[in-house]
Structure 1
Amino acid sequence: MTTSPTTTLPLTAGTWAFDPFHSAVGFTIRHLGISKVRGRFDQLDASLVVGETLAESSVTATVALESINTGNADRDAHVRASDLLDVASRPTMSFRSTKLAGEGEDWTMEGDLTIGDVTRPITFAVEFGGVVDVPMDGSKHAGFEATGEIRRSEFGLTFAPGLLGEVVKIHLDVQFVAPK
């Protein structure tokens, strides 16, 4: 992973529009220490502001926690309940970048992740997929893949230690559309 800072991004300056139809946020968590449960959140919004330099660039994202989808409706209802995510009290998970670094395809993005009233730092390894012109409408899309992990107890999510793993791995695939 390259972490030496560069001064510019290979993207047009301005606010890039989030493409929700070609973006996803997923997660994995250990169950009973022997296997992984995989899921996703179906409601994500994000913003990419590209400045003239990395220091002037930023990423923000918000996930509706009630949109959890593990492929099992009963499990999803339990995860939304007060003993786990407690979406009535903690409806969103949000991210705000504080530092971008890298070059080529490999980048890092540091920032603050907030669940409910708890904010903790997180670092994502980011793979820049590139920029492409879409022939149907002439728009320019940029793609990114980001991975990071949190310790759920640091966010007050302490239900069922041993039953559920402590580490939650987060995986994002996102596209943004260039400003016009």
Structure 2
Amino acid sequence: MIASAVGHTPAARPVAGPGDLGRVVLTRSGALSLPAPGRWDIDPVHSRIAASAFHLGITKADGRLRRFTGTIEMGTDLASTEVRAAVEPASVDTDDDVRDQHLRSADFLDVAAHPHIAFASTRITARSADRWTMTGDLVLKGVRNTVDLDVVHHGAGPDLWGGERAGFSATTQLSRDDFDIRWNQSVIAGILAVGRTLRIEIDIEAVRAS
């Protein structure tokens, strides 16, 4: 007997006659293997870059970077795989126009002088089949620093238009001080208006290039 479902790897079991087959589990196609070698383009419509920081030390302020591009050059293994991305800091969106204008100013992202944020991976290593550590160079506000991202590979499979897609998520934490984003305002002693640490959350859907 062969059990199958779209987007999953078929499972086969020998059948000698009527009987209970028990529980049959199908694995998502590509969940435990790398996407096919070649170029994969990030689909910005189905991807997300978000950042959050503590506000007044008691709650988080969230925002998104709406415009970005990127490619994944998949190798035959992670050691030969490269990731590159470019983000427009002017696309920052926190659902507050006044705050967004301040974030675009020289106090924070200084988008007039630095219209792009760039990332290029330098090393990707596997912690398990679907959990990786990606190290790369991040250039933000003209300052280059090395960052590590915790990456989860969610698998790959066919889409609705005859193509192939792969899904990933990644998280990291950045210190604003490392990128010369030092503006702050003390409310009372020891309490800052904006936290110094940014939590970055990324969801990526990539399309295999034809």
TM value normalised by structure 1:
0.91
Q: 1:56 aligns with which of 72, 80, 96?
A: 80
Deviation at 1:32, TM superposition (A): 1.0
Residue in 1 that maps onto 2:125: 101
Residue in 2 that maps onto 1:66: 90
Backbone CA RMSD of aligned residues: 1.2
SS in 1 for 2:90: helix
**What residue ranges of structure 1 are gaps of 5+ in the alignment?**
1-8
Deviation at 1:116, TM superposition (A): 2.6
* Larger strand share, 1 or 2: 1
Taking the TM superposition and a 5 Å limit, the aligned residue runs for 1:1-180 are 10-102=34-126, 103-134=128-159, 136-160=160-184, 162-180=192-210
Deviation at 1:24, TM superposition (A): 0.8
Residue in 1 that maps onto 2:22: none
Matches of 1:60 and 1:17 in 2, distance apart? Answer: 10
Q: Which amino acid aligns with 1:168?
A: L
Matches of 2:43 and 2:157 in 1, distance apart? Answer: 14
TM value normalised by structure 2:
0.78
- Structure 1 stretches of 4+ with a deviation exceeding 3 A read none
- Give the number of the structure whose alpha-carbon radius of gyration is greater: 2
SS in 2 for 1:86: coil
SS in 2 for 1:164: coil
Between the two structures, name the one with larger relative contact order (CA 8 Å, sep ≥ 6): 1
Matches of 2:108 and 2:208 in 1, distance apart? Answer: 38
Paired residues, what number?
171
**What residue ranges of structure 2 are gaps of 5+ in the alignment?**
1-32, 186-191
SS in 2 for 1:165: coil
CA deviation profile, 1:5-34 (whole Å, cap 9, x unmatched): xxxx61111111221110110000111111
Q: Which amino acid aligns with 1:38?
A: D
